[in-house]
Chain A
Amino acid sequence: MKSSLSQPLLALGATLLLASSAAAAPQVDKTAVKAGTVITLTGEAIPDGVIVIEGGRVTAVGAASEVQIPWDATVIDQPGMVAFPGFVEAHAARGIDRPNETLDVAPFLDVKDSIDPVNFYFEEALRQGILTINVQQGNDTVVAGQGMVVKPFGMTVEQMMVRPRSGVKISAAPKRGKTRATQAQALRGAFDDLRRYLEEMVQRQKDGDDFDRREALYQGRELEGEAAKGKPLACSGWTIDGFERVPRGEVDEKREPLLRIIEGKLPVIMWCATPMDVHAALRVAEANGFTATMTLALAPACWKAAAKIKASGCSVILAGLEDEELDPVTGESIETFVPKVFHDAGIPFALMSTGDANRSLWYQAARCVANGIPRADALAAVTTAPAEMLGLGDRVGKIAKGTDGHVVLFSGDPLDITSVVEHVILDGAHVYDRSKDVRVKQLFDGTRPPGTASDTSGEEDWPGDGDDPEGDDETENNG
């Protein structure tokens, strides 16, 4: 899918990232990126490599001596830099208005109505080389709305979109104001409520009651084609006899996402704050047949449930690298490096970025290396593993023939502390150039953007108060 970057970029956040000439970005059909090292994450790094991107997809990658660059390609040649696939953020509740609704069960909501393309998070993501982001609702919920995979570039949500309705956020940890018992009850209740509703639908069909059909038409839903057909319930947890009688289009849109969840068509990201929550999560998933399409998002303490998670086959997203406990008897501190536990157990894991400009996904991966996880696995946790979890394993997270044309050019090895993102190529278009990034200038050398308040670029060094203040022994209006 080619993104349309043809519209002129207007003076909103995105301008800060592009060439000051502000010319309309041309429709780029062919791009070739040449770098001193190309890290593809499909094999060995390629010295003096070339990546050819045509129509927004990678068509060739290899050593410069072996790859033919089309004569009409725009060439970006950076022999001192390292090319790397864009990072993949497995899930983030940022870039949206507020992370959660007050409603307990609201799977009919969609983040596409809440994503703000000029939110600072997307600007920062681009700056850090995070090119694929699964935006979901936050953790303070029972069943939240549907998320969307986006790229951090575009003036509208449609331009940013990579995959809509990418999954639903559910929380096993109690929502604010709920206890563990009431949270579990609400979760069970959501699915019990669905089941009852579907059974009633079947009954109504049997009774010849066309209430559902009228409801659907009233709500403006189509009942043509596929929507007019009924299919048996494909849930591995429970079943409803006779459900094939019900045309799928008649299912109330408020509950329809839950139906897709239990049939394994809509993935679930389940948030767990404590090891106990993991057990609750697995129970709910097992009972309703969606364990195979569930990914667990875990707070650091959940490393203790690793064995149970391994048995379930779920992948995990780690919201935090370190867990510290104080031994209640000796008072000693017990520190656990959480990703290592999952790595050693053979559980696929992804990492999450924080709001810190200097500790983004590259930093999280580097800390894994520091704590004994092999480099390849650490890099996978921020690229190919989350890509797989999002069902985009053949499109992002690596550079190979057929993947999306995303390349990040680093000034050195991505995990070196002195390396920074210099350029970003997204779908073949050169969308970020660090030398023109005003915000980075401010962060790094303190230059204030011209024209902003308290711009002190013109002032000289303050000489000090060597002189007496001027005048005024005759001040009239001393308070």
Chain B
Amino acid sequence: MLTSLILSAAVAASGSSVPADGTSWTIHADKVYTSTGKVHESALIVVEGGKIRAITPGVEATRDALKAAVVTAGMIDASARLNSGTTSVEQSSEVTPLVSAEFGVDLFSPGWGRLARKGVTSAFITPLNQNCIGGMGTVLKTAGDRSVKGRTVEGAPMICGAIGSQPSQRNSSAFGRPTSFFNRRPTTRMGVEWEWRKSLFEAAQAKEPDASQKVLLDALAGKVGVFVQAWATQDIRTAVFLKEEMAREGFGEMRLVIDAGAEAWREPAMLVRSNTAVILPPVPAQGRTTDGALMSVECASVLRDNGVSFALSGHGGSRLDLQAGLAMRGGLTREEALRAVTLTPAQLLGVDGRVGSVEAGKDADLILWNGEPFEATTRPVGVLVSGHLALDPR
């Protein structure tokens, strides 16, 4: 009672809860899942200037509060793939570590609004995976500021690429005269691996590494994370073996994250031994997915049982909350599914200082649900991104 009195006074003192810039709110929820394991009942969340100012459990809703059955942190899509397609990847070379994904982003695309309204508040954007090593990824908020800089969430730098068949798809050998720079290696899976190994070796052995090679050296040292798309078992193995080979050669210990690791569930021990994290792609309609990989519905549970760090992703089109629900169908608890779309991706991307959980001091990225999250019978009815209302619950 006293708490709510003090709180109401605080709220009143800080001015009305809906000031001009639209980034300050009071929200009341019957339940708040913080993603840290703590659950608050009947809690009031005060948002000010786009940040979570305070969370007070056990109080009644104030008159002008936004009301929800459940509040969780905004979801983070660790592989949103909302780039501008082929203009996001510099294909004149297969290895382009200096390209930044922020140049391949179209903030005016309606896809951002869709993501935000479905509860995804931050998205990791990478260059299209047509190159072996495509460039540096970036974490962007899905709504709010109108410039890329304004939406960027600074995190752990990540260099992105792919292993498998995708990088070799456009290339062909030159019969007679080469007609374009696509007449080049790699044209096969092993060629892709060769490009990777060659770039890493050359960087490690260069007497005067150039700018691109400096990035690769940082990747070898683990200062820059390596975000590799590898759908099938053979490709995941290749990625892990590369890491282990580089370590054996004395070049350093890479921090490896497998993106779209559909078959990661097959060899979890290998992932644990090499300290590799996994981003899971959306569950396919009938089991089979890209590169013939079979993604079992229980794959998230298998990774959890074996202690592999994993996050879920929606690839832009698929609803991330549905993926969390399907992960529950496969055996995760609701808390574990929530972590896999909030705190864990935040940690893997190095942005957990600002996002990923409902805690005072973090950005006000929140989802208001009309029931328990991730059920097919519920959906987000309100979404805040940096305190801006991307989906209005009123």
Contact = CB atoms under 8 A, between A and B. Distances in A.
Contacts of A420: 329
B296 A462 contact: no
Contact of A462 (B108, B237, B265, B287): B237
Interface string B294-328: 10111100100000000000000000000001101
B92 interface: no
Given A370-B377, A461-B269, A444 B113 contact: no
B383 to A, nearest CB: 14
B341 interface: no
Contacts of B296: 442-446
A446 B326 contact: no
Given A326-B110, A464-B244, A418 B378 contact: no
Contact of A444 (B237, B269, B298): B298
Which of the listed residues A354, A442, A464 has the most CB atoms from chain B within 10 Å of its own CB?
A464
A465 B243 CA distance: 12
Interface string A322-356: 00001000011101000000000000000000111
A415 B372 CA distance: 13
B330 interface: yes
B12 interface: no
A371 interface: yes
A356 B282 CA distance: 12
A358 B270 contact: no
Contact of B110 (A331, A370, A456): A331
B244 A366 contact: no
B374 interface: yes
Given A358-B297, A358-B326, A358-B329, A370 B285 contact: no
Contacts of A366: 375-377
A443 B326 CA distance: 12
Contact of A357 (B245, B266, B269, B286): B286
B318 to A, nearest CB: 11
Nearest to B379: A370
Interface residues of B, number: 38
B285 A461 contact: no
A371 B113 CA distance: 19
B377 A369 contact: yes
Interface string B160-191: 00000000000000000000000000000000
Contacts of A335: 117
Nearest to A448: B294
Nearest to B295: A446
Given A326-B110, A358-B297, A446 B285 contact: no
Given A333-B113, A443-B287, A464-B244, A417 B325 contact: yes
Given A367-B376, A417-B325, A461-B267, A356 B244 contact: no
B377 A446 contact: no
A446 B266 contact: yes
A371 B266 CA distance: 37
A209 to B, nearest CB: 58
Contacts of B237: 462
A193 interface: no
Interface in A406-430: 415-418, 420
A359 B323 CA distance: 11
B128 interface: no
B370 interface: yes
Given A357-B287, A443-B286, A371 B379 contact: yes
Given A366-B375, A461-B270, A333 B328 contact: no
A328 to B, nearest CB: 13
B53 interface: no
A363 interface: yes
Contacts of B241: 464-465
A416 B377 CA distance: 7
A358 B329 CA distance: 9
Contacts of B108: 331
Interface string A11-30: 00000000000000000000
A356 B375 contact: no
A50 B266 CA distance: 42
B283 interface: yes
A308 to B, nearest CB: 29
Contacts of A375: 377
A358 B299 CA distance: 14
A370 B113 contact: no
Given A443-B287, A444-B297, A417 B328 contact: yes
Given A417-B376, A445-B296, A446-B265, 17 more contacts: A332-B113, A333-B114, A358-B285, A358-B326, A358-B329, A367-B377, A370-B370, A371-B379, A415-B375, A416-B376, A417-B375, A442-B287, A442-B296, A444-B296, A446-B266, A464-B270, A465-B241
6 nearest A-B pairs in the assembled complex, by CB-CB distance: A366-B376, A446-B296, A356-B285, A417-B325, A369-B377, A370-B379
Interface of B: 108, 110, 113-114, 117, 237, 240-241, 244-245, 265-267, 269-270, 283, 285-287, 294, 296-299, 302, 325-326, 328-330, 370-371, 374-379
27 contacts: A331-B108, A332-B113, A355-B285, A357-B285, A358-B329, A367-B377, A369-B376, A370-B376, A370-B378, A415-B375, A415-B377, A417-B328, A417-B329, A417-B376, A420-B329, A442-B296, A443-B286, A443-B287, A443-B296, A445-B296, A445-B298, A446-B294, A461-B270, A462-B237, A462-B267, A464-B244, A465-B241
